[in-house]
Amino acid sequence: MSTIIENDKTLTSQLTEVIPAPGVGNPDSPISMAKYLDQATPENQRKEIAESMHEIIANGECYVTCTHDDDGCLDGRCTSEIAVPNGDGFEVVNVEHNKDNERAKVAGGGYTTPLAMFVALNEKSASPEGDIVYIAEEFAKQGIHCGAHTGGHGSEDLGKTDCGANDKVREIIACGANNREIVAGVTSALFKHSTDLYGQGSMNKALNAWTDTQGDDQYFANSNGVSRLDAIRTSILNTQDNSGREEKVAVIKNLKDDHNEIELVVVYGQGQTCSQTKLRNLLAERYPTVDAKDLPQVFVLDFWRVQQLAYAVAVMPERESGRERTDQEIQDRYATALHAGVAFQVATYATLTDGSLPVDIIA
């Protein structure tokens, strides 16, 4: 067990388990531990660098306390700038060398993952965009704010933002529905280190709802990554206006360079995360002759944030009547939402990678 000091707080972190690569994935994806190592040579030092990166993760050198209460995506690429809410729009700020911004991380950010929870509860409306705005409004009442990201490979004409979890929401839901045994198995493995218990009934309920939704052409008509990001932007501006906070409630990051993730790190400690920036800097110090864009990256999933978001969804009142939920309803809704939220992370992994990335459990 290793102890590090960050932001005047002592964090105790431990690499509890490494789950072997689940194997389910997109064989054509360039996001791959196997392909990364297949290209290793003595000159490019890829094997040595991959081992060093895993050592840094295992030693707990990159675990920090989140410095903001909003969240972002689990994407491992470098942030070049952020867009912050400012009046009726967003102001772009360069933060490439800022080491102090640490947020929780879930697939697509905290409005995209709950969308999959909402679908699992059979509470979707006419469109994902309408559901995102509604979720954001209800979350804001609970003091929960969430972010998102764009990137250099986005295309407004193609409806793509360069956030795979957002751009491929429908495909990810379909992946979970069509690979239910594998997705449920990995989800169960992630629950093993959680304070919540895995329940096959809750898992089946979520995946059954996903099965029904994946073919709902009407729900997904005219919906794409760009339109969903526009709904997130609108939501952030609205919640900023209504929050009364001077501090920005959430940001939209712009990421640069290509994906080079070779591991998934799952963090369970409340309020903690694995700093991809710190990991990147530590690798750069060890390998100063290697171009930074060629260094490996990691996806980071903060399991505790999925739990937070699932509870926030569970306690939301009945949409039409505004009726408050009973304790039993909250308990049942939380179980379904949490299983859907964790499964969405697994299905995102399976959709965006080739399935060869090992999963590091930090409990």
**Domain definitions of the chain by residue range:** 2-362
Report how far residue 274's alpha carbon sits from residue 256's, in angstroms, rounded to the nearest whole number: 19
* Token pair recorded at residue 122: 């059979």
Sequence-ordered list of residues with C-beta below 8 angstroms from that of 195, at least 6 positions apart, any chain? 307
* pLDDT at residue number 8: 32
106 and 299 in contact (C-beta within 8 Å)? Answer: no
* pLDDT at residue number 222: 95
Report how far residue 262's alpha carbon sits from residue 37's, in angstroms, rounded to the nearest whole number: 9
What value does the CA radius of gyration of the chain take, rounded to a whole number of Å?
A: 19
* Closest C-alpha to 189, from 24, 63, 354: 24
* pLDDT at residue number 98: 56
* pLDDT at residue number 13: 60
Output the tens digit of pLDDT for each of the chain's 363 residues.
222 223 333 345 678 999 988 888 999 999 999 999 999 999 999 999 999 999 999 999 999 999 999 999 999 999 989 999 999 999 998 876 556 789 999 999 999 999 999 999 999 999 999 999 999 999 999 999 999 999 999 999 999 999 999 999 999 999 999 999 999 999 999 999 999 999 999 999 999 999 999 999 999 999 999 999 999 999 999 999 999 888 999 999 999 999 999 999 999 999 999 999 999 999 999 999 999 989 999 999 999 999 999 999 999 999 999 999 999 999 999 999 999 999 999 999 999 999 999 999 998
105 bridge partner residues: 72
Q: How many CB atoms lie within 10 A of CB 81?
A: 17
* pLDDT at residue number 14: 74
* pLDDT at residue number 9: 36
* pLDDT at residue number 352: 98
Report how far residue 326's alpha carbon sits from residue 127's, in angstroms, rounded to the nearest whole number: 27
Burial class (CB in 10 A: 0-12, 13-18, 19+), 157: exposed
100 bridge partner residues: none
